[in-house]
Amino acid sequence: MNLTNKIVIITGASSGIGKSLAIEFAKRGANLVLGARHFVNLCTITQQLEQQYKIKAVAVQCDVTIEGDCELLIKQALVTFDKIDILVNNAGISMRALFKDTDVKVLKSVMDVNFWGTVYCTKYALPEILKTKGSIVGVSSIAGYKGLPGRSGYSASKFAMNGFLDALRVENLKTGIHILTACPGFTASNIRNTALDKEGNEQRESTLNEESMMTSDEVAKIIANGVESRSRTLIMTGQGKLTVLIGKFFPKLLDKLVYNTLAKERNSLLR
């Protein structure tokens, strides 16, 4: 797929991977519909992209946990551009707390953003993407392949996203549309700073070494390449590929490796 003049919707586009995706798709000539809760920041981003890359970009205030906001996001894309080629379900939130200590509302909040936000946007965009034989992308995680301690809600939401996209892919095997599941490893972005603690408040600090991680720009480039080549699944790091492989053949060993790795993070929850 050549991305020039394609119409791309990106959720969670005001920061992190979402902002990097907006920049990467704009570089490749795509026109953008950007959704996020932080509208002022989003408007600044769209103006900068239009000026720098000579594309058209539209900012839409959108909380993906609200079905009506997702419907309006898709309607705005159609009002502005009259078609949709690509939907990137990127909006996401994390959490960090042991399940035994965590208020259930925290898991629900994470599921509402990561899973239901993907479902709502996909539901309203799918009829239009069927017309263009375009792409639906879910920005998932290695946590969608292996449950991570202290991230039970996040892992559950990404497992749910992966299963949803898998089912959607098979349902549309003969329709010509493209479904991409993109799984970054740990990425240097603000997702850990905004991760929810056991009571649902923002953590506001990273417990991991951000300097050794992939950048959001690197992730965005890989995803854009995956859309162009109509890839099925993208597992972006050697650690991630090894995790999936070991999980298939030596799941008990993987439990120990994951435990030992996250036991080393700063202020580890594992004692």
Class of domain 7-240: alpha beta
pLDDT for the residue 267:
82
CA–CA dist 184, 198 (Å, integer) = 25
Given a contact cutoff of 8 angstroms between Cβ atoms, the answer to whether 118 and 138 are in contact is: yes
pLDDT for the residue 207:
62
pLDDT tens for each residue of 202-245: 876 666 665 667 899 999 999 999 999 999 999 999 999 999 99
Give the confidence band of 1 by pLDDT, cuts at 50, 70, 90. Answer: confident
pLDDT for the residue 214:
86
Q: Is 167 helix (H, G, I), strand (E, B) or coil?
A: helix
CA–CA dist 271, 256 (Å, integer) = 14
For residue 187, pLDDT beyond 90: no
pLDDT tens for each residue of 3-42: 999 999 999 999 999 999 999 999 999 999 999 999 999 9
CA–CA dist 253, 246 (Å, integer) = 8
What are the residue numbers of the active site?
154
CA–CA dist 254, 143 (Å, integer) = 13
Mean pLDDT of 161-187: 95
The letter for the amino acid at 32 is: L
For residue 192, pLDDT beyond 90: no
Q: Residues with Cβ < 8 Å from 229, sequence gap 6 or more?
A: 1
